[in-house]
């Protein structure tokens, strides 16, 4: 996928995408962005086969109390896709990332 620099670029792009979307930003407005960045990099790196270890909370715990609906979840996925495009990932690479992350959907919705 491009190693740690690519994962960092995706993460930074994703944070930018979130910051410009008022509907999604509300879920993040009280988030420690430095910690989010660190843990998202670990999470993405580990789940895409990188040599990283995720040291953050479970997806269920992270999203508990946010009551994320389908529309906002799908919008967030679109923001991640935009972030991956900006980082130079091809469509097959983007699809591979989404395939790995998709099973976690149930741990994020309506919690």
What's the mean per-residue pLDDT of the chain? 96
**Number of domains forming the structure of the chain:** 1
Q: Is the pLDDT of residue 1 over 90?
A: no
Rounded to an integer, the average pLDDT of 31-50 is 97
Complete DSSP assignment for the chain: --HHHHHHHHHHHHHHHHHT-HHHHTTTTTS-HHHHHHHHHHHHHHHTT-S----S--HHHHHTT--B-HHHHHHHHHHHHHHHHHTT--HHHHHHHHHHHGGGGGGTBT-
Per-residue pLDDT tens over the stretch 15-34:
999 999 999 999 999 999 99
Task: Quote the domain boundaries for residue 96.
Answer: 3-107
For residue 50, the domain's CATH number is 1.10.490.10
Give the whole-angstrom CA distance, residue 3 versus residue 108. 26
């Amino acid at each position: 996928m491009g190693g740690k620099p690519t994962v960092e670029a995706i993460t930074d792009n994703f944070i930018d995408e979130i910051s410009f979307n008022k509907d999604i930003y509300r879920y993040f407005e009280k988030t420690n962005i430095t910690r989010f960045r660190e843990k998202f990099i670990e999470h993405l790196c580990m789940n895409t086969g990188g040599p990283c270890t995720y040291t953050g909370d479970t997806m269920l715990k992270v999203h508990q109390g946010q009551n994320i609906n389908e529309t906002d979840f799908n919008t967030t996925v679109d923001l991640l896709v935009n972030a991956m495009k900006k980082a130079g990932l091809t469509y097959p690479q983007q699809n591979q990332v989404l395939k790995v992350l998709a099973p976690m959907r149930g741990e994020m919705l309506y919690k």
